[in-house]
Amino acid sequence: MSIIAETIQSWAVAYGFKLMGSIAIFIAGRWLAHVLVNGFKKLLEKAQVDQTLLSFLGNVLYYLLFAIVIIIALGNLGVPTTSVVAVLGAATLAVGLALQDSLGNLAAGVMIILLRPYRLSDFVEINGEAGYVSDIQIFHTTLTTLDNKTVFIPNSDVMSSNIINYSKTEWVRLDLVYGIGYEDDLLKAKRILSEIVQADKRVAEDPSPVVAVQGLADSSVNLAVRPYVKVSDMVPVSFTITEQVKLRFDAEGISIPFPQRDVHLFNAN
């Protein structure tokens, strides 16, 4: 027993102060990490960095500093820190390879938050999906479509596709096309379309709406109607104008051509 007691006593003398020092390093290092992270967050807040990115960068910095504190504390105990760093590096590489798609989304999310191609509540079209931006996360962007569906788009897909932001300007242009017959009065049809567009109070006066001949198709003369409206009025205005065009054309005797097919029957006898 005396040999065991002497061994414990000698070990306590040899490592006790180192252990206490390592505990002190751990406590002080953790406190210092919190102080540095809080200061870093305050600098980002003054720079008006997005809260999502601010929180993410703060967490990354904290865990990085925490890992350094642990390595210093282990080094004070006499643990070979080179092997610890090597293990952490290998683990980080393995995790990075396993999560490379997620890391791609993360990097794209940081770019979206920094570059701001869109903001919350903007009406956008991304990767073939159109809707209002309801949430911007590090890994994905959430859209709420006009039919009230929720669409989650990975941020890597967002950054690799075209982004159409309809909310960047106050007014957007509607591109509507209506066909009339070749025998109909072209100038009368243009006048009717102009009256319909100008009667709608939701249509901007400046830029003024355009009514013009777009092309001469196989069975119709196509007239382009291009009013400027607010983003929230895009769908309602297009519905209203289309309905009014049908009613006015019917009332004014303007025909709207539709596909027809002539069938010729031959008597085999």
**179 pLDDT tier (thresholds 50, 70, 90):** very high
More confident residue, 205 or 58: 205
Residue with tokens 């290998």: 90
| pLDDT at 99 (0 to 100) | 46
CA distance linking residue 104 with residue 46, whole number of Å:
28
Q: Over the Cα atoms of the chain, what is R_g?
A: 34
Contact 138, 155 (CB under 8 A): yes
Does CATH number 1.10.357.10 belong to domain 2-98? no
pLDDT tops 60 at residue 1: no
Report whether pLDDT(88) > 80: no
pTM: 0.59
| Degrees to nearest 5, angle at CA 141 with 137 and 142 | 110
pLDDT in tens, 9-60: 565 555 666 677 778 888 888 888 888 888 888 887 777 766 666 766 777 7
The band of 183, judged by pLDDT with boundaries at 50, 70 and 90, is very high
Distance CA 143, CA 126 (A): 9
Helix and strand counts by DSSP (H, E) for the chain? 7, 10
**CATH top-level class of 171-252:** alpha beta
CB 34 within 8 A of CB 58: no
| Between 250 and 13, the higher pLDDT residue | 250
Q: Which long-range contacts (CB under 8 A, 24 or more apart) does 16-20 make?
A: 18/76, 18/77, 18/78, 19/77
Q: What is the mean pLDDT of residues 193-201?
A: 94
| Cβ contacts of 174-177, under 8 Å, gap ≥ 24 | 174/225, 174/226, 174/227, 174/228, 174/229, 174/234, 174/237, 174/238, 174/241, 175/224, 175/226, 176/224, 176/225, 176/226, 176/227, 176/238, 176/241, 176/242, 177/214, 177/222, 177/223, 177/224, 177/225
Least confident of 94-103, 124-133, 257-266: 94-103
Q: Say if CB 210 and CB 178 are below 8 A apart.
A: no
Q: Using an 8 Å Cβ cutoff, are 174 and 229 in contact?
A: yes
Q: Give residue limits of the domains in the chain.
A: 2-98, 117-165, 171-252
- From the candidate CATH numbers 2.30.30.60, 2.60.40.10, 3.90.1640.30, 2.60.40.1930, the one assigned to the domain spanning 117-165: 2.30.30.60
**Top-confidence residue, 89 or 119:** 119
Helix (H) or strand (E) holding 254: none
